[in-house]
Chain A
Amino acid sequence: MDIKLPDSTLRKFLFTRAPAEKIAEALTLCGPSVDRLHKVAADYVYDIEAITNRVDSASAFGIAREAATILPLFGIKAKLINNPYDIQAGELPERRAKKLPLEVEIRDETLVKRFAAIVLDGLVVKDSPQEIKTELELAGERALNNLVDITNYLTLCYGQPVHIFDYDKIKGAKMILRESKRGEKITTLDDRTHTLRGGDIVIEDGAGRLIDLCGIMGGKNSQVDDQTKRAVLFVQTYEPKRIRKTSLYTQERTLAAQIFEKQPDSCLVIPTIIAGVKLLVKYAGAKVAGDSIDLYYLKPERITIRLDLKLVNDLIGFKFNAKTVNSILTGLGFTVKKLSASTFEVTVPSWRTHDVTIWPDLAEEIARIYGYFRLAGKLPVSAYLTTATDPLLEIEYRAKSFLANLGFSEIFNYSLVGADIFTKSQMAIDHSVSLTNPLASEFEYLRRSLIPSLLMDLANNSGKVELPIRIFELANIYLVDEHNPKELPEERPILALASQGLDYRTAKGYLEALLVKFRLPNLTFTALDEETGPWQVNQTAEVYSGKHFLGVFGAIKPAVKSAFNLKSDIYLANLDFRALASLANTASTYTPISEYPDMIEDITIESNRTIGELIQLIKAESKLVTKVIYKDSLKNKHTFTIHFNNPKRNLTQAEVNHIKEEIPKATLSNNPG
């Protein structure tokens, strides 16, 4: 929650000679951060980030309370002044006008924590005094008239939202605070009409009209205007969750709502209403015309915490003495009772009961006010005796590096995709993990394939980069467990390679290089037997290592290419990286080099078998065949270069010739490999 605080408003509660720059610096280091300090005419404005659980510091007084404790630790004297908690009930101006009735009925006591109101008469609506106008404007609020400005000024000073109704617009002088019903409508001050979902906190008047969307914004029908003479000054604290819920769905993230949902101190309600009445008397001619109404005040629970100095020092890593601890906590409003030399009983002040509940909360107060910047860092000595991490992490990096070294560029696509690129890829988007609150339709699903993203990447680079293009991505895909759709989806790492402008053998060569590099055993490529997804069926293969499926490699079909406006040959490899990693043999083993030279011979085989089958057959023919290199083909005549070697002795030409004669026979049998 960001607030703008004029220096002049702050100094109404803080007496110090410290310049604004010094206050900003000290606050940033030890309290709420001052994001920026602006010099404005004769004043300064602090842009302050009030921390979410510290709604008590989201006001001039709240910041002053912090600064008054922090500045002395920088050697600067500072004192908190005009503390609203010192305002006594007796300070409320006496009734000076004829008593006006106001009937309040609260239908559900859980809705409101404290309800205060007072009726005023004799009001004269005009401009606020210049001082209030200037300070409000510096705080980023528009000055309207004295009545509204004073309510806003009270919030700026004390951090307590305040509302003012035109008394004469409340029919029957009656307010009924209740839960809203589904479908009820209210038009708020900003001219927006909200249809309520039910369960919101609202006020109905004697004529059954809704006049307040409580804690969020007042109703248009009861707002003060130029003619207002009589009014109800209204200060409450509400049940925070309802306020938050209403504020979120009505999209009215007003300052009041942001404060109320964070539970401001109910003890501040009466001081605020008294200060308000005084200001209205002074600047708007107000006369009190009714009793002060104060309902349902639940005295806040008294929280006491046992504080052990040793535990505090262990958590912070510094040796604080009892005196420092005492002065820091007392300065912030805590009551400290010494139990022994190093233990205390600390009572939490009413405005901190929501954020200080356990001793580490107190340790934080001590350490931050003292200043984290004064603590010296040191490296911890904790260590594991053995360390084991997921080997996949290292293999991923090695695969990525290898591909980058081969000339591929790595791309990171968003995991969030739209349906359209799946449709273009002729892939189904249904059964994908989808978001209930997507940012836009192009980020609606968690992708179940990397392929559409890579095709999109090629399309995005079309005409910008010279062909050939080689790209890859290694990322998770997300798969719904169809049997257990409520379980978390499987996150499966996929490595996808894409090339544009390379031929089949070159593109496949990159894939094979990767698989060979990781020593995947028994690689085979099996022709795809049915049309699926973006693949051109006759130029696509399933890739196996032994019996284990690794993925698919092949060409993208023309219809998909044209859907992406892509030209030239496109080949993709889509690999299950976990399968690849688990089969990869990353530990090298030593094989002695044969002392005897290879015999190298070419052979041409006439056969209708696939080249892959022929290579397997040649290898299977004899243990003496150590390498088979495919040379070229002429129709169904295929030429290979074969290396023969026997590590134990020199081969004879006769042995080699014998094997060469056996090979064509083997290709005629029915059992490949």
Chain B
Amino acid sequence: MNFENITNSLAQGTASVGTISQLEKIETEYLGKHGVLNLEFAKLNKSDKSKCGQEFNAAKLKAIQTVEKRRNELIKKTEKESFDVTVPGILPPLGHLHLVTQAIREISAIFTPIGFIRRRYPEVDTDWYAAAGLNIPKDHPARDDQETFYVSENVVLTPHTSNGQLREMELMKKPPIKMINIGKTYRRQIDISHTPMFHQFEGLLIDRGINITHLIGVGNYFVQNYFGPDRRIRLRPHHFQFTEPSFEIDITCGVCQGVGCRLCKAGWLELGGAGMVHPTVLKNGGLNPDKYSGFAFGWGVERVLAMKYDLPDIRNIYTTDLRILNQF
């Protein structure tokens, strides 16, 4: 019987290892389910097994003791070893979601809890959805402000997410209509605060009894959740063909909290347009303006990003330079 030889060779092995993981390897090799000791015992025939049972158990016990003794030594040794905890970790590759993706996620996460459904509508749309159906007839001076790209006389790159208004009315057929439409939009301009492609988020709520104070409520809710609890909005008179009344919405400046500073217009920063849905637009969407009213707003994703992160040039959002993109 070779049990003694085995325990001896185990003892030699344990003495020669320097780390606990090496020891654990030897432990498995000798004491594991398919280890040397078990295999040796398995070779015996039935009568030999009963004869050598005691010897086998003693050898096993000895082996365990040998391993445990060495383990304790090694534990003591490693506890005393000097180890530089400041050695840098090996990083896996780190990727990055684009700022616009992050912002869209954040914006929809703000509107979802108050019941707005996330939508996305075509980027290339007919003039009807993008303009005429929104009460902006052909040749109307209001088209000046839109700087629209044309694919053909009747097909445009939508200059705002408002093309989703009629489409949403057609989809839902009757109120309540409560969408947050986030999508790509295009205008024919490029400068420090404009890129030819950008994103807007369009809120649309139509139901019985919707009024201006609801727009103010939702506007404040958004800016307080996106920019911070001390921010608020104000409405200024404006004109859009598809809303009546129409507003320009300002938000208190984050630097001076509305007092007025070098960064803002007397304490306020422009957020974007809004208004009560024009009766003609409701009619075009198949809804009865005597029964229903609603509000709509369309604000720039890049604009709120630039305001939040104080980005001086909006074109930087569309850089492809990974040294910049990987900062976010």
A552 contacts across to B, CB distance below 8 A: none
Contact of A380 among B94, B101, B207, B234 (CB under 8 A): B207
Q: Is residue A550 within 8 Å, beta carbon to beta carbon, of the partner chain?
A: no
If A377-B216, A491-B123 touch, does A470 touch B186 (CB 8 Å cutoff)? Answer: no
Q: Name the CB-closest residue of B to A476.
A: B123
Measured CA separation A406–B93 after assembly (Å): 7
Contact in complex: A380, B149 (CB < 8 Å): no
Instruction: Pick from B115, B265, B276: contact of A360, CB below 8 A.
Output: B276
Partner of A382, one of B210, B278, B321: B210
Please state if B93 and A436 are interface contacts (CB–CB under 8 Å).
no
Stretch at the interface among B45-53, B66-74, B77-85, B218-226: B218-226
Give the distance to chain A from B124, nearest Cβ to Cβ, in Å. Answer: 6
B96, B100, B189: the one contacting A409 at CB < 8 Å is B96
Q: Is the CB of A383 within 8 A of B237?
A: no
Q: Is the CB of A318 within 8 A of B213?
A: yes
Taking CB atoms and an 8 Å cut-off, the chain A residues in 465-509 that contact chain B are 465, 468-471, 476, 478, 486, 488-489, 491
B120 near A380: Cβ-Cβ < 8 Å = no
Q: Is the CB–CB distance between B95 and A416 below 8 Å?
A: no
- 27-75 of chain A: CB within 8 A of chain B: 28-33, 35-36, 51-54
Cβ distance B137 to chain A, nearest Cβ, rounded Å: 10
Residue ID in chain B nearest A355 by CB atoms: B239
B4 interfacial contact with A, CB 8 Å: no
Determine if A261 is an interface residue (Cβ-Cβ < 8 Å).
Answer: yes
B238, A461: Cβ atoms under 8 Å? Answer: no
Q: Are A379 and B245 in contact (CB under 8 A)?
A: no
Question: Smallest Cβ distance from B198 to chain A, in angstroms?
Answer: 10
Binding stretch for chain B, among A173-181, A367-375, A540-548: A367-375
CB contacts under 8 Å to B, within A379-410, are 379-380, 382-384, 387-390, 393, 397, 400-401, 403-410
B87 contacts A by Cβ under 8 Å: no
Cα–Cα, bound, A460→B101 (Å)? 22
Instruction: Indicate whether A244 sits within 8 Å of B293 (C-beta atoms), given known contacts A316-B211, A368-B245, A380-B217.
Output: no
Q: A36-B265, A361-B244, A488-B122 are in contact. Are A315 and B276 (CB under 8 A)?
A: yes
- Which of A437-445, A569-577, A628-636 forms contacts with chain B? A437-445
A317 x B214 contact (CB < 8 A): yes
CA distance A32 to B234 in the complex (A): 15
Task: Look across to chain A and name the residue whose beta carbon is closest to the beta carbon of B129.
Answer: A488
Most buried by A among B95, B205, B213: B95
B163 to chain A, nearest CB (A): 11
Interface range, B side: 35 or more
Q: Which of the residues B92, B114, B217, B276 comes within 8 Å of A377, measured between beta carbons?
A: B217
> Beyond A33-B248, A360-B276, A461-B320, is A411–B98 a contact (Cβ under 8 Å)?
yes
Q: Which of B97, B115, B265 contacts A383 (CB 8 A)?
A: B115
Asked whether, in the complex, the Cβ of A53 is within 8 Å of the Cβ of B239, the reply is yes
For chain A residues 1-38, which have a beta carbon within 8 Å of chain B?
Answer: 25, 28-33, 35-36
A413 to B100, CA, bound (A): 12
Report if B90 contacts A (CB, 8 A). Answer: no
Taken together as a complex, chains A and B put the C-alpha atoms of A486 and B321 apart, in Å, by 37
Which chain B residue has the least Cβ–Cβ distance from A31?
A: B237
Residue in contact with B211 in the complex, picked from A315, A468, A478, CB distance below 8 Å? A315
Is the C-beta of A423 less than 8 angstroms from some C-beta in chain B?
no
CB pair B207–A315 under 8 Å, yes or no, is no
Decide: A372 and B234 in contact? CB cutoff 8 A.
yes
Which of the candidate stretches B10-18, B56-64, B139-147, B306-314 sits at the interface with the other chain? B139-147
Is A457 interfacial (CB-CB < 8 Å)? yes
Q: Is A341 an interface residue (CB 8 A)?
A: no
A405 to B175, CA, bound (A): 40
A393 to B111, CA, bound (A): 15
Annotate B200-244 by CB proximity to A: 1 below 8 A, 0 otherwise.
000001010111111111111100000000000011111100001
Indicate if the CB atoms of B151 and A436 lie closer than 8 Å.
yes
Q: Is the CB of A52 within 8 A of B142?
A: yes
Closest to A410 in B: B98
A363 to B247 Cα, complex, angstroms: 13
- Determine if A434 is an interface residue (Cβ-Cβ < 8 Å): yes
- Would you call A431 an interface residue if the criterion is a C-beta within 8 Å of the partner chain's C-beta atoms? no
B177-200 vs A, Cβ < 8 Å mask (1 yes, 0 no): 010000010101110000111000
A346 to chain B, nearest CB (A): 15
- Given A379-B214, A389-B118 in contact, is the A397-B101 Cβ separation under 8 Å? yes
**B32 CB–A CB distance under 8 Å:** no
Is the C-beta of A566 less than 8 angstroms from some C-beta in chain B?
Answer: no
The answer to whether B151 touches A415 (Cβ under 8 A) is no
Residue B110 CB within 8 A of the other chain: no
Report the Cα distance A456→B149, complex, angstroms. Answer: 24
Q: Pick the residue among B120, B123, B196, B279 that contacts A443 (CB under 8 A).
A: B196
- Shortest C-beta distance, B241 to chain A (Å), equals 8
| CB-nearest residue of chain A to B280 | A358
Distance A397 CA – B112 CA, assembled complex (angstroms): 15
The answer to whether B271 has its CB under 8 Å from any CB of chain A is: no
Contact partners of A261 in chain B: CB under 8 A: 141
Check if A364 sits within 8 Å of B205, measured CB to CB. Answer: no
Contact A437 B92 (CB under 8 A): no
* B35 adjacent to chain A (CB < 8 Å): no
Chain A residues within 8 Å of B236, by CB: 28-29, 33, 372
Closest to A468 in B: B93
A250 to chain B, nearest CB (A): 15
Q: Given the complex, which residues of B lie within 8 Å of A376, measured CB to CB?
A: 213, 216
Q: Find out whether the CB atom of B150 lies under 8 angstroms from the CB atom of A436.
A: yes
Give the nearest-CB partner of A485 in chain B: B152
Q: How far is the CA of A367 from the CA of B142 in the complex (A)?
A: 23
Give CA–CA (A543, B323) in the complex, Å. 32
Contact of B237 among A51, A384, A436, A457 (CB under 8 A): A51
| Alpha-carbon distance A317/B218, docked complex (angstroms) | 14
* A-B CB contact pairs (8 Å), 27 listed: A30-B237, A36-B265, A52-B141, A52-B239, A241-B139, A363-B244, A364-B237, A367-B245, A368-B245, A372-B212, A372-B234, A376-B213, A377-B217, A379-B221, A383-B176, A390-B119, A409-B95, A409-B325, A409-B326, A410-B96, A412-B317, A413-B318, A414-B195, A446-B124, A446-B151, A460-B321, A464-B321
Q: Beyond A314-B209, A315-B293, list 17 extra A-B contacts (CB 8 Å).
A: A28-B266, A317-B214, A372-B212, A373-B234, A376-B216, A387-B117, A400-B101, A407-B92, A407-B93, A409-B326, A411-B325, A412-B98, A414-B197, A446-B151, A470-B93, A491-B122, A491-B123
Q: Which 9 A-B pairs rank lowest in CB-CB distance, beginning with the nearest?
A: A407-B93, A377-B216, A317-B211, A364-B245, A317-B213, A377-B217, A372-B235, A404-B95, A410-B98
